[in-house]
């Protein structure tokens, strides 16, 4: 049967280049491939960046000279090729290879590029399981924390995952946001302030960037007293520099984003006298350098963490305004197929 997909023939603003199209029915799955029916796919900031052409990787799936959008999603296996042993009809799966194109209702995908997820997971939880939770898990498991972690962009998707994973691992967290009193209404969670949302997820301390403007202030004293040795950065810019100055001895700073679009700089003294180690992390690279078995183990670890279902607004891929919803919605969007 024919199916719908969100595609783009050239890079540019999604409102101008993204198109909802109908594609012809797929052939039976070739060897080592399965046919899947996508059920739900989230829209992440990186998805928009890929369409804009400013992300360091490109979409992998090109059909009829157009690229398929989307990186994450949950699907159901509806047909398997002869001799397929990894997956069975009815399995719920998610991609474990980035940028396969998930904003489509149907696909033939190599079984090695898919991993099973628990059947009892909600669609939203499964659809958003391959980027934000694993990013938080890897950064916290692969870097020593000594009991505390400090992060910025704490109310982002990764930030909220960090709060929950840290709490599960027995690590306390200091979380910086722009406005902790800002009222939010998260679909699937309810209304409250940013601070209330984070504390409900398990945050120990919630601070604002403006607190860093006060030299010798109470927030700075509180953080210094904790001798924090692990910091996670998705912001960059001067506030990240100010946060780094509050770290304890022999700290490690992991950068996985730059939402401020500003460069990251540190005084040389942090490296010489505190022994600061600064490095980057990219989940895409982790997937590219790890085996299918390791990817499956990662999903099992996500399941063990018991993370909350992410909040977000559902829109139908058949909806007349689906592109507008993706581009203009202030809430996280999940595309329902």
Establish whether 256 is a catalytic residue.
no
Secondary structure string (H, E, C) spanning the chain: CCEEEEEECCCCCHHHHCEEEEECCCCCCCCCEEEEEEEEEEECHHHHHHHHCCCCCCCCCEECCEEECCCCCEEEEEEECCCCCCCCCCCEEEECCCCCCCCECEEEEEHHHEEECCCCCCHHHHHCCCCHHHHHHHHHHCCCCCCEEEECCCCCHHHHHHHHHHHHHCCEEEEEECCCCCEEEECCCEEEEHHHHHHHHCCCEEEEHHHHHCCCCHHHHHHHHCCCCEEEECCCCHHHHHHHCCCCCCCEEEECCCCCCCCCCCCHHHHHHCCCEEEECCHHHHHHCCCHHHHHHHHHHHHHHCCCCCCCEEEECCCCCHHHHHHHCCCCEEEEC
From the candidates 3, 8, 55, 209, which is the catalytic residue? 55
* Interatomic CA distance for residues 158 and 216, integer angstroms: 30
* Interatomic CA distance for residues 131 and 321, integer angstroms: 26
* Interatomic CA distance for residues 300 and 53, integer angstroms: 33
DSSP lists the bridge partners of residue 76 as 37, 92
Read off φ and ψ for residue 69, nearest 5 degrees.
-80, 165
Residue 203 CA from chain centroid, whole number: 19
- Beta strand pairing call for 172-177 and 205-208: parallel
Q: Structure tokens of 292? A: 């299918």
* Catalytic residue annotation: 55
């Amino acid at each position: 049967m024919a199916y719908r997909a969100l595609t783009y023939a050239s890079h540019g603003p999604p409102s101008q280049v993204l198109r909802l199209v109908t594609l012809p029915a797929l052939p039976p799955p070739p060897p080592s491939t399965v046919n899947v029916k996508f059920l739900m796919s989230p829209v992440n900031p990186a998805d928009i960046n890929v369409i804009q052409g400013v992300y360091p990787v490109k979409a992998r799936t090109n059909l009829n000279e157009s690229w398929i959008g989307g990186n994450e999603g949950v699907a159901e296996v509806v047909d398997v090729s002869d001799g397929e042993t990894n997956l069975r009809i009815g399995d719920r799966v998610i991609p474990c290879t980035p940028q396969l194109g998930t904003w489509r209702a149907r696909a033939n995908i190599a079984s090695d590029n898919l991993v099973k997820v628990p059947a009892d997971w909600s669609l939203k939880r499964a659809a958003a399981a391959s980027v934000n939770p694993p990013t938080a898990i890897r950064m916290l498991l692969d870097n020593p924390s000594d009991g505390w972690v400090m992060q910025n962009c704490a109310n982002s998707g990764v930030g909220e995952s960090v709060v929950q994973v840290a709490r599960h691992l027995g690590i306390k967290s200091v979380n910086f946001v722009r406005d902790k009193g800002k009222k939010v209404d998260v679909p699937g969670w309810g209304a409250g302030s940013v601070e209330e949302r984070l504390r409900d997820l398990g945050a120990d301390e919630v601070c604002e960037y403006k607190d860093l403007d006060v030299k010798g202030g109470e927030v700075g004293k509180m953080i210094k007293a904790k001798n924090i040795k692990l910091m996670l950065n998705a912001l960059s810019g001067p506030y990240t520099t100010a946060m780094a100055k509050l770290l304890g001895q022999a700290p490690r700073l992991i950068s996985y984003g730059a939402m401020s679009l500003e460069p990251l700089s540190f005084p040389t003294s942090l490296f010489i006298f505190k022994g600061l180690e600064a490095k980057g992390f990219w989940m895409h690279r982790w997937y590219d350098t790890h085996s299918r078995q390791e990817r499956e183990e990662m999903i099992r670890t996500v399941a063990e963490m018991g993370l909350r279902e992410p909040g977000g607004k559902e829109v139908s891929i058949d909806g007349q305004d689906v592109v507008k919803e993706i581009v203009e919605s202030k809430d996280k969007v999940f595309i329902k197929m």
